[in-house]
Amino acid sequence: MSARSPSPLPDLAKLARGIRARERAVIARAITLVESRRVDHQKAARRLVQELLPSTGKAVRVGITGVPGVGKSTTIDALGTFLTAAGHKVAVLAVDPSSARSGGSILADKTRMAQLAADPNAFVRPSPASGTLGGVAAKTRESMLICEAAGYDVVLVETIGTGQSETMVADMTDFFLVLMLPGAGDELQGLKKGVVEIADMIAINKADGDNVARAKAAAAEYRAALHILSPRSMSWSPPVVTYSALTGAGIADLWAAILDHRKRMTASGELDARRCEQQVKWMWAMLEDRVFARLRSDPALKAKLPRIEAAVAEGRISPAVAVDEIAAALGI
């Protein structure tokens, strides 16, 4: 049986027209093209994003993270629905670091955001199903540009991971929102210094019913903790607020704080500076991913790597010499 021929490349001009017309099926196809590992698809995706670039950059980009069980999906569903009701067009993208390890996205079920997934003024997309974390995040950024070109004026980028994934999401958004829980024993649970240093706001969820007092107490603890850290902007001191994704109480205040931050950062010139810095960071991230793609795909290099790794593990050659050998094989 003959091998099946690869699918033809999409018509990029047609894709671009469909994206600008906010046709959700076309947007989904374009993002699938961005996520593809095929070399010809990757080249086509780069041309498509370059074509769309003049139509990007106008959206409010918000990164959202939080400890397990904090209610990120419910929060995004509530916030997104609030925004579409106010006339906004909302895109939700996800960075799933588990996909880089297991090869499968645990975010594929859009029923986590039932209202938003069915909203004609919203677009919900899980992360790519495989690849390095840097590659997954880089593709999420390209997906964000596609959504902006489609006219979505708010892009919510969710990370369910920790550490590096949170930093990557902060590096592709204008505002980084960290969600926390009340009354979970130690009120500083999950409050990692590295995450708090990049947070633009901490929001305590589940401030409803019997939890209201505990949520307020937790907020006071977080405010005290923030006082010992230097904010990353001279124009903004990260607030700590309480809200309920379940009842919707405080959701409007979350959005008001995001807009206030945007106004101040725009006035000081920090928003433009941050985005310029992000552009350069993502250039290097994509270059790094391209180099690793060579390592994964080049048969000769793949054959050499086990031998080199074994030699390093056994102490026969130093890591520095090993890197020289790999770099030479890559021609760099």
Per-residue pLDDT of 115-160, as tens digits, reads 898 999 999 987 664 555 655 667 888 999 999 999 999 999 998 6
- CATH assignment of the domain containing 125: 3.40.50.300
Tell me whether residue 201 is in a domain.
yes
Quick one: 157 and 107 in the same domain? yes
Looking at the structure, tell me whether residues 67 and 138 fall in a common domain. Answer: yes
292 in a structural domain: yes
Tell me whether residue 138 is in a domain: yes
**37: in domain:** no
Ramachandran region of residue 269, left (φ > 0), alpha (ψ -120 to 50) or beta? left
- Give the pLDDT confidence score for residue 146 in this predicted structure: 97
Residue 27 lies inside a defined structural domain of this protein: no
For residues 82 and 209, state if they share a domain: yes
* Number of independent structural domains in the chain: 2
pLDDT tens-digit readout, 98-108: 544 444 444 44
Whether residues 112 and 236 share a domain: the answer is: yes
Domain span at 73? 55-267
**Would you state the pLDDT for residue 288?**
82
Q: Are residues 213 and 309 in the same domain?
A: no
**HEC string of the chain?**
CCCCCCCCCCCHHHHHHHHHCCCHHHHHHHHHHHHCCCHHHHHHHHHHHHHHHHHCCCCEEEEEEECCCCCHHHHHHHHHHHHHHCCCCEEEEEECHHHHHHCCCCCCCHHHHHHHHCCCCEEEECCCCCCCHHHHHHHHHHHHHHHHHCCCCEEEEEECCCCHHHHHHHCCCCEEEEEECCCCCCCCCCCCHHHHHHCCEEEECCCCHHHHHHHHHHHHHHHHHHCCCCCCECCECCCEEECCCCCCCCHHHHHHHHHHHHHHHHHHCHHHHHHHHHHHHHHHHHHHHHHHHHHHHCHHHHHHHHHHHHHHHCCCCCHHHHHHHHHHHHCC
Task: Give the closest residue to 172 by CA, choosing from 87, 56, 25.
Answer: 56
Residues 143 and 291 in one domain: no
- The torsion defined by the Cα of 179, 111, 167 and 187, in degrees rounded to 10, comes to 20
**Helix 12-20 with 39-52: angle, nearest 10 deg:** 50
Residues 134 and 220 in one domain: yes
Are 190 and 300 found together in one domain?
no
Q: Are 152 and 261 members of one domain?
A: yes
In a domain, 218, yes or no: yes
Within a 10 A sphere around the Cβ of 88, how many other Cβ atoms?
A: 17
Question: In tens digits, what is the pLDDT along the chain, a chain of 332 residues?
Answer: 445 556 678 889 999 999 999 999 999 999 999 988 888 998 999 999 999 999 999 999 999 988 778 889 899 999 999 999 999 999 999 876 554 444 444 444 455 788 898 999 999 987 664 555 655 667 888 999 999 999 999 999 998 665 567 888 888 999 999 998 886 545 454 455 667 778 899 999 988 888 888 899 888 888 887 777 777 778 898 999 999 999 999 999 999 999 999 999 999 999 999 999 999 988 888 888 788 877 877 888 888 899 999 999 999 999 999 999 888 888 77
> Is residue 196 domain-shared with residue 315, that is, in the same domain?
no
Interatomic CA distance for residues 325 and 328, integer angstroms: 5
Instruction: Answer positive or negative: Cα dihedral of 239, 243, 249, 252.
Output: positive
Do 207 and 92 lie in one domain? The reply is: yes
Residues 323 and 263 in one domain: no
Domain boundary among 215, 233, 267: 267
pLDDT of 132 reads 56
174 in any annotated domain: yes
- Whether 30 is covered by a domain: the verdict is no
Q: What is the pLDDT of residue 2?
A: 47
